[in-house]
Amino acid sequence: MLSVFSLRNVCSLKGISGTSRLIKVSKAIAVRNSWNKCISSGQKVSQRKWSSIKNLCFPIIRQNVTHAGEVVNKVPVKSERIIGYWLLGCSGMVFTAVVLGGVTRLTESGLSMVTWKLFGEKPPRTQEEWEAEFKNYQQYPEFKIKNKEITLEDFKWIWWMEYFHRTWGRTIGAAFYIPAAIFWAKGWLNKGMKIRVAVFGTLLACQGLMGWYMVKSGLEDRFHKESDVPRVSQYRLAAHLSLAFVLYTLFLWSALDHLLPAKAVAATVSNRRFRMFAHACKGMVFLTAISGAFVAGLDAGLVYNSFPKMADRWIPEDILAYTPALSNFTENPTTVQFDHRVLGISTLLMISGLWLVSRRRHLPPRAYAATSAVAAMAWMQVALGITTLLTYVPVPVAATHQSGSLILLSLAVWLTHELKLIKAVPK
């Protein structure tokens, strides 16, 4: 039978309040007591009592069951997968943006557009407009110091490269913000996802602003030494890439939550340590990739193009040539390349060890597959890095190497996601 508490809840659902609600609840209590008395004594329920129950309780129940059904129907059964595919699509677009950014850097196209507008620059359409754009470019250091011989046709090519990169970034914004607003308005996002979406949106906006802040560093009048080459700040480049990697990782992790939920893993001490080891490997992959941003920012891949030694030495003579000494790690091309080598080899050894340890652990099948994929990709990535170095950084090979770092990070994220349900072992 319905309790008085459930009747009160039913009344409150439909907005019945004050005196009206008290009267209805009082009547319901009286009807309930009379009904229970009849049932317990074995008496038959009179037609009058039965009519009271129907007239008082059934309309309220019927109305509110219908109302509850309407609320439930607002959220489609497939909403979780829809949100998952949306997040996966956003992560794929960020992946493409990183690749385009790498190609833009390798082709030295990033400083061709000397203005920035929030909602996009209008491409030149006539010969006069192209000449005006080219004339504007000629006012900045890259043309004055490095590209004095560039023709208008050459300028058009690098301009379109940078334009496509920026346009793709703005497309990511549209692909994220518009569906996010729709899903939020429809009530498809729970409290946790609302927080995540707010974080994603903030990071995406910061990423766009950081991109222009980075480009602006290459347009400043600060290249006065004979050996100076106009380029963006390696610090801002590393920050721009770091934000992209963080945004990509968060998109991918959230997409996996919706599309490929992790399986429970035995909460043993050895499995918990294995998870910590996997997170450490993921961190090393991230750190090595960011060190690669300093290599790209300083064109450090064009010095000491030999492996495993650097100019027949394990440690080059000019590794600490700059003063103060700490500046060598972010400003000396030799030191930056040396650090990237050490980090890359260390990451490879750690991941190889992770794969060996995984053979002795009881893990879900997908976790085994992810571990093997991470190990295989780590070896491939190191091979690509060595090839890039020995061949003097050709654009196709170098772009593949940069893309490989994000693929390796993706696999590491997948592995750690598969291990997320290992709980702490009680002491």
pLDDT number for residue 138 = 94
CB atoms within 10 A of CB 201: 15
User: Which residues, listed in sequence order, are joined to residue 313 by a DSSP beta bridge?
Assistant: 310
- φ, ψ (nearest 5 deg) of residue 313: -130, 145
The structure tokens 């009160």 sit at: 8
What amino acid occupies position 189? Answer: L
Which of the 8 DSSP states describes residue 142?
I
Nearest to 89 by CA among 277, 255, 334, 290: 255
pLDDT number for residue 38 = 60
The structure tokens 């490095």 sit at: 146
What amino acid occupies position 320? Answer: L
pTM of the model: 0.80
The structure tokens 């893993």 sit at: 265
What is the distance, to the nearest Å, from the Cα of residue 372 to the centroid of all Cα atoms in its chain?
23
Q: Is the dihedral of CA 22, 28, 30, 33 positive or negative?
A: negative
Q: Take residue 389 and report the two structure tokens written for it.
A: 């170095």
What amino acid occupies position 344? Answer: G
H or E segment and range at residue 223: none
pLDDT number for residue 7 = 42
Distance between CA atoms of residues 304 and 335, nearest Å: 11
Distance between CA atoms of residues 355 and 299, nearest Å: 33
Nearest to 316 by CA among 342, 343, 336, 334: 334
pLDDT number for residue 32 = 58
Distance between CA atoms of residues 291 and 59, nearest Å: 69
- φ, ψ (nearest 5 deg) of residue 352: -60, -40
Whether 218 contacts 230, CB under 8 Å: yes
Mean pLDDT per 10-residue segment, the chain (427 residues): 42 45 54 58 57 55 46 60 96 96 91 88 92 94 90 94 95 97 93 95 95 93 81 94 96 96 87 95 97 94 93 92 93 96 97 96 92 98 96 94 96 96 63
Distance between CA atoms of residues 270 and 374, nearest Å: 20
Contacts of 63 (CB under 8 A, 6+ apart): 14
Which of the 8 DSSP states describes residue 197?
H
Does residue 308 have a cis bond before it (omega within 30 degrees)? yes
- φ, ψ (nearest 5 deg) of residue 310: -115, 105
Which of the 8 DSSP states describes residue 260?
S
